[in-house]
Every structure is written in C-alpha cells, then in structure tokens.
Amino acid sequence: MVVLMVCGDDGYGECLVNGFNGYCRPELPYALALSTVEGYSGYGAEESNMELRKAIDKTFYKDNTHITCDQIFVSDGSQMLLGPEIYVDSSVIMGRAGEFEEKTSKYKNIVYMNCAPENNFFPDLSKVPRTDVIFFCNPNNPTGHTASRPQLVDFARKNGSILICDSAYATYISDDSPRSLFEIPGAKEVAIEVSPFSKFAGFTGVCLGWTVVPKELSYADGFPIIQDYHRVVCTSFCGASNIAQVGGLACLSPEGFKVTLLFSFLFLNLKCALS
Ligand SMILES: Cc1ncc(COP(=O)(O)O)c(C=O)c1O
C-alpha cells in the first residue's frame, strides 16, 4: 500500500492512497494503513504518535498556554501515566494511603478537601494541611461546577506540592473560566494536567488520554520532573493503541472537533433543562 500526503496548516491536505487522489482528513492515511495486513501495527512510540500530540497541543494548549507537544504524553486513559504511586485508588491498594479509619470512613494519609454547596464547591484552603500531591477535578464530576484555580496554584507553590488537575470536562466550560490550568500564571511551575478523551469525545472504553508535564515543573533541587516522567513512561508503558490514537486524531481534526463539541452543547442543554 502506498500513502502519500501533503498537509496544509489547517490539518487538511491532498492525499494519494493507492492511486486514489482526493482531499482528505489528516488521520485518513494512518487509518487506511492500519486496516491492511502490511500496515497494521499495535503500538508506536511510548509517548505516542507525534501528529496526535501536535493536534492535542493545537486544540487545547498552543495559543493560550504555550505548552509544546513534547510536554504532552498520550496514554491509554487519563490515569495510567500517573502510575500506581500517585492515582488515589491504586495508592489505597498499595497501602500508601495508610490505614482505613472506620470512625471517619477515611484513609489516614489522605487529606480530603470538602467541596460542597456550602463552600461553593471550593475547599477552604486555610484549613487544608500540606500534602505532597493535590488532586483536583475541574470542572467537577459530578456537579459540573467550575472552580477558580489561582488560589490552588498559589497554595501548591507555597507548600511545595504538585497540583494534579483532571480537566476531563474542560470543553464543557461555557463561561470565561480558563479551559486549562496552564492559562493561570505560575501554574507550569507547580502543576500536571490530565485529560481523557472519554468525556469530550465519547471515548469511554476506547482508552485514550493525555498528561501534560510542563518543563518548568521541577523537584526542590531544580531537577526537571519531565525527565523522570519521560523515563518512567518509556520504561513501563508500551504506548497507547494505534487504532485508538487514529480515532483521537479524527476527533481533533477540524471537522471531527465540530462534532465533538456538539456533545458538550448537548450536555449544556441537558443541564439547562434540568435546572
Ligand atoms: C473526571 C474524570 N476523569 C477521568 C476519568 C477516567 O477516564 P478514562 O477511563 O478514559 O481514563 C473519568 C471517568 O469516568 C472521570 O470522570
């Protein structure tokens, strides 16, 4: 099979596939190749297909945050790349969350930040002790509430904590709140952002997501965390499935993203109908 493609800035280009000359979407040559015996492959680079990293960067980060595609790591879902040491459920299984306390129904080494209607779904940080890692899901699941995050960034900086923000529902934000944590000044020095394709593209079960580790994020001695992260990912992970990645590329093509955003509008309409 012969695939030749010349791509324009808009992601569209001229495509020649086995003599068929047409105007096509950027994911098509990859998809067509994967559908053949000779062209099929399971995994590629551990960090993922560069076209997909570029598409994620262009869609979510480039203009507003200046994050570059080499700081984006694609994985089979949003949580895998954080590894068992960090993701909360896995930490509980591995005993890192400490003993379960029957009386409070909480784990000893986890600090729970109360986000409820009485505090407008944002924790009172003056009562939250220091932790190594702070997880925050924004917009919130299941309320959809979008919190203001500069205070969390300042809090993480002051405490020397790493803030991990789950932005799975970012495309559902309809006001002028930042879509990415990295739009907030100083966030790149303290935060990691994760997002699955599950919510905005309806990819639940397909298993595709990404993690942004800014090059400015470092340990207390100044060593960049991205270097360790890259090492761990390329050692312990085989890469996201190529089929899933081509699907992700299709969702982020100019045409695909219009359909993808439709999901968000449907969700917003549902929210209005229920309120
Ligand atoms: C807020 C949030 N983040 C991440 C995930 C995980 O998505 P995935 O299974 O695609 O990694 C979920 C799944 O329900 C979620 O609700």
* Alpha carbon distance 198, 170 (integer Å): 12
Neighbours of 112 (CB within 10 A): 11
From 82, 90, 166, 245, give the residue whose CB has the most ligand 1 atoms within 8 Å, as the site to mutate: 166
Fold of 44-274: Aspartate Aminotransferase; domain 2 (3.40.640)
Residue 79 alpha carbon to ligand 1 centre in Å? 8
Closest C-alpha residue for ligand 1 atom 16: 141
User: At residue 82, does pLDDT exceed 60?
Assistant: no
Residue 147 is classified by DSSP as P
The residue among 26 and 57 whose pLDDT is bigger is 57
| Among 90, 95, 166, 88, CA closest to 132 | 88
Average pLDDT over residues 119-129: 91
Q: Could you tell me the residue ranges of all domains in the chain? A: 1-40, 44-274
Q: 267 pLDDT exceeds 90?
A: no
For ligand 1, the distance from its centroid to the CA atom of residue 76, given in whole angstroms, is 11
Q: Show the beta-strand stretches assigned E in the chain.
A: 3-7, 13-17, 20-24, 72-75, 100-101, 106-107, 133-137, 162-166, 191-196, 209-212
- The predicted-structure confidence for 184-230, as pLDDT tens digits, reads as follows 999 999 999 999 999 888 898 999 999 999 999 999 999 999 999 99
Mean pLDDT estimate for the chain: 84
Question: d(Cα 31, Cα 27) in Å, to the nearest integer?
Answer: 6
Mean pLDDT of 68-82: 82
Rounded distance between C-alpha atoms, residue 247 and residue 206, angstroms: 9
> Mutation test of ligand 1: which of 73, 78, 138 has the most ligand atoms closer than 8 Å to its C-beta?
78
What average pLDDT score do residues 72-87 get? 69
Burial zone of 2 (CB within 10 Å; 0-12 exposed, 13-18 middle, 19+ buried)? exposed
> pLDDT tier at 83 (50, 70, 90 boundaries)?
low
Across 42-57, b (16+ Cβ under 10 Å) vs e yields eebebbbbebbbbbbb
